[in-house]
Chain A
Amino acid sequence: MTGEGLLVDGISKSYGPTNALTDVSLAIRPGRVTALIGHNGAGKSTLLRSLSGAEVPDSGSIRIDGEAQSFTGPRDASTAGIACVYQELSLVDQLTVAQNIFLGQEQVSGGVLSRRQMNRRADELCAEYGITARATDLISSLPVAQRQMVEVARAINQKAKYILLDEPTTALEEQQVEHLLGIVRRLVDEQGIGVLLVDHKLDEVFAVADHVIGLSGGRIVLDGSVEDVDRAAVIEAIVGDHGSGPVDTAAVAAIVGDGLGETSLESVETVSEAARAREFGAPVLEATGLSGNNLHGVDLTVHAGEILGIYGLVGSGRTRFLRTVYGAFPLAEGSLKLLGKPFRPKSPAQAIKAGVAFLSEERKFDGFVPQMSSIENVVLPVLGKYIRGGVLRWRALKGSADDVLSQVSIRGQVSAPITSLSGGNQQKALFARATLQAPLLLLLDEPTKGVDIGAKREIYGIIRTLAAEKNVAVIVVSSEEEELTELADSIAVFRGGSCDGVVYPRSSVTAAQLRELAWADASPASAGPSAP
């Protein structure tokens, strides 16, 4: 392989016995968007880190515009013109936009920072790339989408020729995604920058990329121009027979997304409270006019054995609602009833006692204790039930933990720190924890975020079992429409911090309709259909 571009030739990388990358060759051409897709654990992150100098491959070579490179650290890569924007952004929250853009490359005249000059340049960059913030705004005051753009602006300012974007759209809402992809396209077309875009969503890939590379099990399984490959081929390649077992159509649908076809909200059916009460058990949780903490009136009911999906845009109050029910946020106004009795949890501990379990969206941030083993993490909320004479019955605790952990078929060592498990298995361990709590009500915030397709299917199975066999009332918050239409019995939509309590049966609502509902006017009067 020769010629212009960032050329990767036969790189391999292994961690102990695990081969993360095996003989990977690819090219990132200037003026083109190259999309990299593959499920979790396929080696995308390792590849990205190898390209950005954060990781040194065991073998193989990297050439930039004909020149061989050997990176010993991220600094080498950035000197060579490669910038990488990770999901976890590397901005300093306490500094301004301009200070971040110039971080490490500050302009100095006579030993003094040329603050005004840097601010002017930063403002130019902001204007150019649709960042509404000013150069002197603190990063901590910006929304996530804007921060991401600041990082891209920094890369451009540092004259990066190749920009690697690691799943830049996951945290964004639809409009922001369009905006971001538009900018990516402009960078490539106008400035001739070569972009490597790691993305899970095929819609986005086909909208913006010129070239698609599929990675599976650390090997390249697809490498072609977007004109030459279609969705089916892509899915075939990345899901293909590299995994085990049959391809899960729901999981595939979650990746593919069904195109935004013709939709009409008039055809959306709703299901009445009475009908749900007949189909499922008694109401477990009833929320009426829940407000405060950016919630502006949430009415919602969930029944025993029912899986209620909550759809809404990021920031629509879904997570706030779950955390308020769990006692992690104070309940300002409105009322909650649990099994018909008033419920006002002041702390998660109280909610747990009342029979509520919760799985956080950010398991690393507030899901598990990293130094503890999976077993210890699983038993943490239920320690109080295993005390005799003030002393913990560890044997019984471990027995119970082993039981629930094997129910969710954990792969990995359960007595090692939980961080030694893969993301999907960590999440399954947290489901084991919820199972052990034997809850009345299970609150799930993006339960399949960051897990691979196989684990996703298993997690759906676990959720269904809990609802069907243990009669648990489940509320699932998800940003993936397909996840809800696949998993939930009924779906409610949050808009701008409120929910009108209208519930759509999954059989009648499509992904496209859900999206439209989420964008609909927030006032109940114009939300369209009312319960029949």
Chain B
Amino acid sequence: MTDTTTARKPPTSKNSEVHVKKRRLPDETGIFIVLVAVLLVFSILSPNFRTIDNGFTLLVNGTVIGFLALGQTFVLLTGGIDLSTGANIAMSGVLVALVMQAGVPWPAAMLIALIAATSLGVLNGLLIHYVRIPPFIATFSTQGVALAIPLIITGANSIQVRDIGFSWIGQGRIAGVPLPVLLLLVAAVIAGLWLRMTRQGVHVYALGGNKNAARLAGVNIARTTILVYAISGFCGGMGGMIVTSRLMVGFPATGTGNELFYSIAAAVVGGISLFGGVGTVLGAMIGAVLIAAVSNGMNVLSVQSYWQSLVIGVIILVGVSFDTLRRSRAGRPVFAKRPAVDTPSLPPSTTPSKS
């Protein structure tokens, strides 16, 4: 966000001594080009891939990853990580089915399940901020808890959903576009605007960029931390709603697979820094589509499913390597080869005159 909002603006007359300023491309350009390339390659390799139907299948399958990646984006921007979102799919997905089974109408059941999912996120935030458990450990533990709860309650049996209305969430269409895709689109647009246009949104970036400085600048660290994990929990819950609605079964073993893995991959290849403070929702969403496309394309090409994890693992590695190298170029050595530099070694286009 920092780049996209400010880079477009011409330098102010009084402050700039650098008149020649290259128009910088948005940071998402790179990943977008990669996405287009991947889509092209699959389209050429398989005629089935380039059908509109498959396009929708790809997107619908991508929405669960997309929602998780959206939540993960908030958490990663503060420099944290949420390993519990995949488990949250199972927890909320089974919960919504159970509540409907008890006779509650589906909108109310959804509300209850989403509140539960968000609560799991709030719990993460509380553990991380007040008990000072590192995010990795805190969410790793709650992941275990969230995975076990539906299994214990259901005895590992799946719960049928009889309320036909609920199928609309995962299977409905508006103007031909699948509803989950629309839901994700709306959520992503709101999230993107919120991060850019609200005070709390800016505070998310500030917290991830430098927690100490953010606190001294008046950022409420507790509120911001709890909020981002709550958002991630809510997004996990949305994932659970979509999964259960598409299957019309609350399946206690969902979310134990690749969802978490893919969602982190999506955010990271989309330019969200694992070190906090850098990245945009747009980037993460492009990343989610990319991951979904790779996954879908390999299915269409009938590549053994075991290969998918491998390919996506490599994608994560490449994405994180870029991020790490970018950081070290920006004067904050990650491979700690040299001490911090007082002369900025930024690309020439942004190097200011030294005073």
Q: Using a CB-CB cutoff of 8 Å, which residues 300-335 of chain B contact chain A? A: 330-332
Residue of A nearest to B209 (CB): A369
Q: Give min CB distance, B80 to chain A, whole Å.
A: 16
Q: Is B216 touching A41 in the complex (CB atoms < 8 A)? A: no
Q: Using a CB-CB cutoff of 8 Å, which residues 198-220 of chain B contact chain A? A: 198-199, 202-203, 205-206, 208-210, 212-220
Q: Complex Cα distance A15/B202, Å?
A: 32
- Chain A residues with CB under 8 A of B7: 415
- Segment of B44-52, B140-148, B258-266, B342-350 in the binding face: B342-350
Beyond A41-B355, A358-B216, A402-B12, whether A73 also contacts B350 by CB under 8 A is no
Residue of A nearest to B352 (CB): A412
Using a Cβ–Cβ cut-off of 8 Å, how many residues does chain A contribute to the interface with B?
69
- Chain A residues with CB under 8 A of B219: 349, 380
A328 within 8 A of B: yes
Q: Is A452 touching B6 in the complex (CB atoms < 8 A)? A: no
- Select which of A54, A326, A415 is within 8 A of B9 by beta carbon: A415
Q: Complex Cα distance A55/B341, Å?
A: 10
- Chain B residues with CB under 8 A of A410: 15
Q: Using a CB-CB cutoff of 8 Å, which residues 435-463 of chain A contact chain B? A: 452, 454-455
Q: Is B216 touching A328 in the complex (CB atoms < 8 A)? A: yes
- Select which of B2, B12, B220, B340 is within 8 A of A417 by beta carbon: B2
A405 within 8 A of B: yes
Interface code A408-431, partner B: CB below 8 Å = 1, 0 otherwise?
A: 001111111101111111000000
Q: Is A49 touching B338 in the complex (CB atoms < 8 A)? A: yes
A371 within 8 A of B: yes
A392 within 8 A of B: yes
B11 within 8 A of A: yes
A280 within 8 A of B: no
Q: Complex Cα distance A18/B5, Å?
A: 28
Q: Is B213 touching A423 in the complex (CB atoms < 8 A)? A: no
**Residue from A90, A360, A411, A416 having most chain B Cβ neighbours under 10 A:** A416
Q: Is B355 touching A455 in the complex (CB atoms < 8 A)? A: yes
- Select which of A352, A371, A392, A412 is within 8 A of B277 by beta carbon: A371
Q: Complex Cα distance A55/B218, Å?
A: 38
Q: Complex Cα distance A59/B14, Å?
A: 37
Q: Is B213 touching A402 in the complex (CB atoms < 8 A)? A: no
B43 within 8 A of A: no
Q: Is A411 touching B355 in the complex (CB atoms < 8 A)? A: yes
A183 within 8 A of B: no
Dominant secondary structure at the B interface: loop
- Select which of A412, A413, A419 is within 8 A of B331 by beta carbon: A419
B53 within 8 A of A: no
- Chain A residues with CB under 8 A of B14: 402, 406
Q: Is A369 touching B213 in the complex (CB atoms < 8 A)? A: yes
- Chain A residues with CB under 8 A of B208: 371
- Select which of B218, B278, B330 is within 8 A of A352 by beta carbon: B218
Residue of A nearest to B339 (CB): A86
Interface code A386-404, partner B: CB below 8 Å = 1, 0 otherwise?
A: 0100111010001000100
Q: Using a CB-CB cutoff of 8 Å, which residues 14-46 of chain B contact chain A? A: 14-18, 21
Residue of B nearest to A365 (CB): B212
Q: Complex Cα distance A367/B16, Å?
A: 23
Q: Is B352 touching A421 in the complex (CB atoms < 8 A)? A: yes
A17 within 8 A of B: yes
- Chain B residues with CB under 8 A of A18: 343, 351, 354
Q: Complex Cα distance A352/B218, Å?
A: 7
Beyond A18-B354, A373-B2, A415-B9, whether A420 also contacts B210 by CB under 8 A is no
Q: Give min CB distance, B201 to chain A, whole Å.
A: 8
Q: Complex Cα distance A421/B16, Å?
A: 12
Q: Complex Cα distance A527/B103, Å?
A: 80
Q: Is A46 touching B218 in the complex (CB atoms < 8 A)? A: no
Q: Give min CB distance, A87 to chain B, whole Å.
A: 9
Q: Is A383 touching B199 in the complex (CB atoms < 8 A)? A: yes
A5 within 8 A of B: no
Q: Complex Cα distance A45/B331, Å?
A: 15
Q: Give min CB distance, B213 to chain A, whole Å.
A: 5
B337 within 8 A of A: yes
Residue of A nearest to B345 (CB): A15
Interface code A350-383, partner B: CB below 8 Å = 1, 0 otherwise?
A: 0011000010100001111111110110001101
Q: Is A376 touching B6 in the complex (CB atoms < 8 A)? A: yes
- Chain B residues with CB under 8 A of A371: 2, 205, 208-209, 277-278
A288 within 8 A of B: no
Q: Is A413 touching B199 in the complex (CB atoms < 8 A)? A: no
Residue of B nearest to A366 (CB): B212
Q: Give min CB distance, A452 to chain B, whole Å.
A: 7
Beyond A328-B215, A416-B350, whether A370 also contacts B210 by CB under 8 A is yes
Beyond A370-B209, A417-B2, whether A45 also contacts B352 by CB under 8 A is no
New A-B pairs, 15, CB < 8 Å, besides A90-B339, A371-B277: A40-B342, A49-B338, A367-B216, A371-B205, A376-B202, A380-B219, A383-B202, A398-B9, A411-B17, A411-B353, A414-B15, A415-B6, A415-B12, A417-B330, A424-B355
Interface residues of B (CB under 8 A from A): 2, 5-7, 9, 11-12, 14-18, 21, 197-199, 202-203, 205-206, 208-210, 212-220, 277-278, 330-332, 337-346, 348, 350-355
Q: 5 closest Cβ contacts across the A-B interface?
A: A412-B352, A366-B212, A369-B209, A406-B14, A415-B6
Could you show 12 A-B contacts with beta carbons less than 8 Å apart? A54-B339, A328-B216, A366-B213, A368-B210, A373-B6, A381-B218, A402-B14, A402-B15, A410-B15, A416-B6, A417-B346, A424-B355
